[in-house]
Amino acid sequence: MKIYHNSRCRKSREALKTIQNHTQEYEIIEYMKDRLSLEEISSIIKKLKLDPISLIRKNEDLWKQNYKDKKLSDNEIIKIMQDNPKLIQRPIVVIDDRAVIARNIEKVKDLFN
């Protein structure tokens, strides 16, 4: 199990605590410190079964000011996330070939079932 974690995010801290209460086997990936590769982001998107735009935090000023009204390809959106990890929805929890955006703790709990 992996959690793509931002320690400054309350929802991310809650998801991590839930994981710690359910298992000892997990990896914390602090994507704000160690940027994700294009391949990692693409893999997460595939596991989430989402379009890249669905992984963007569209309420961030960075998005609104620089990208909101642009016509962007999926590859361009992935590159934007790589360059600006702040724009990636969080937290993301991955187990095997499944992943969830774990803003709702119940989604994390469902991964253990």
20 and 26 in contact (C-beta within 8 Å)?
yes
29 φ, ψ to 5°? -115, 110
Tracing tokens 């990208």 back to the chain, one arrives at 67
Is 90 annotated in the active site? no
Give 45: exposed, middle or buried? Use CB within 10 Å, 0-12, 13-18, 19+: buried
The one catalytic residue in 9, 28, 50, 72 is: 9
d(CA 28, CA 56): 21
* Residue 30, amino acid: E
Residue positions annotated with a catalytic role: 9
